């Protein structure tokens, strides 16, 4: 795998975009991650990118499953590196969550909905704790530059001058990072009660459907009381 591999579902990113960086790139189907390459140590590098679709991916549990699968692959082959690229910027206002992209010479608001940026921040902390590096980019153009630089650095050889001599830690992951996502969205919800919800509904997608359709149904579960429900409704 001498090239930077682009998943064929990443329609916005084309191999020709890397020509100016002298980075060979090709499109293939990747079962895990959005981009990948093998570095000079023979280790796989898996990269996932999220932009305006981050909240939906987190709330549905897709993002957590993707990261867990990426960690499993790297551990299964005896080593590698994982990267998460957040394209665009999330901020909060009194109305909820805002998503921004950098166009031309200024940041422009792309959309807004009633969400909590705490979910994004908690997620990045969780990723760091298992060895997944987060890189922020302003727009697609900057994402291409970052992908090119990751590939170039990987082929030149890790570590970089900055990190030379610092030992690497072995990656690990808890499959129930879903709990962090749920508690990040539903402030005041304990890990025990989050686990109860996951056991009852099976996945985050069904829980969030219930939140918006009929949140009063949660009162039927042990440990979910009026105060917890009131905090959820504040977020909703």
Q: Where do we find the tokens 């591999």? A: 5
Residues of the chain with CATH 3.40.50.10130: 4-156
Residue 174 has what pLDDT? Answer: 47
Residue 169 has what pLDDT? Answer: 56
The span from the CA of 170 to the CA of 193, in Å, is 30
Residues paired with residue 44 on neighbouring β-strands, in sequence order: 38, 80
The span from the CA of 111 to the CA of 52, in Å, is 8
Long-range (24+ apart) CB contacts under 8 A made by 6-11 are 6/34, 6/35, 7/33, 7/34, 7/35, 9/34, 10/34, 10/35, 10/49
Residue 49 has what pLDDT? Answer: 94
CB 110 within 8 Å of CB 101: yes
- Given a cut of 70, the residues of the chain with pLDDT beneath it are 1, 93-95, 111-120, 159-178, 180-181, 184-185, 187, 233-236
Class of residue 106 by CB neighbours under 10 A (exposed 0-12, middle 13-18, buried 19+): exposed
CB 72 within 8 Å of CB 32: no
CATH of domain 4-156: 3.40.50.10130
Residue 184 has what pLDDT? Answer: 67
């Amino acid at each position: 795998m001498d090239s930077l591999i682009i998943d064929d579902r990443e329609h916005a990113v084309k191999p020709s975009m890397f020509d100016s960086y002298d980075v060979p790139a090709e499109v293939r189907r990747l079962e895990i991650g959005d981009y990948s390459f093998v570095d000079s140590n023979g280790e796989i590098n898996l990269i996932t990118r999220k932009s305006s679709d981050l909240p939906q991916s987190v709330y549905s549990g897709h993002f957590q499953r993707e990261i867990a699968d990426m960690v499993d692959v790297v551990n299964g082959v005896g080593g590698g590196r994982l990267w998460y690229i957040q394209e665009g910027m999330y901020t909060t206002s009194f109305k909820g969550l805002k998503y921004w992209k950098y166009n031309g010479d200024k940041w422009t608001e792309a959309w807004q909905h009633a969400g909590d940026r705490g979910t994004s921040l908690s997620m990045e902390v969780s990723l760091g704790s298992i060895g997944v590096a987060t890189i922020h980019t302003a727009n697609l153009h900057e994402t291409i530059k970052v992908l090119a630089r990751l590939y170039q650095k990987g082929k030149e050889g890790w570590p970089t001058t900055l990190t030379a001599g610092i030992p690497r830690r072995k990656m690990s992951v808890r499959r129930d990072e879903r709990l962090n996502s749920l508690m990040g969205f539903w402030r005041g919800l304990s890990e025990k009660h989050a686990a109860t919800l996951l056991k009852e509904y099976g996945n985050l997608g069904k829980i969030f459907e219930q939140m918006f359709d009929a949140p009063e149904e949660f009162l039927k579960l042990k440990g979910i009381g009026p105060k917890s429900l009131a905090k959820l409704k504040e977020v909703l």
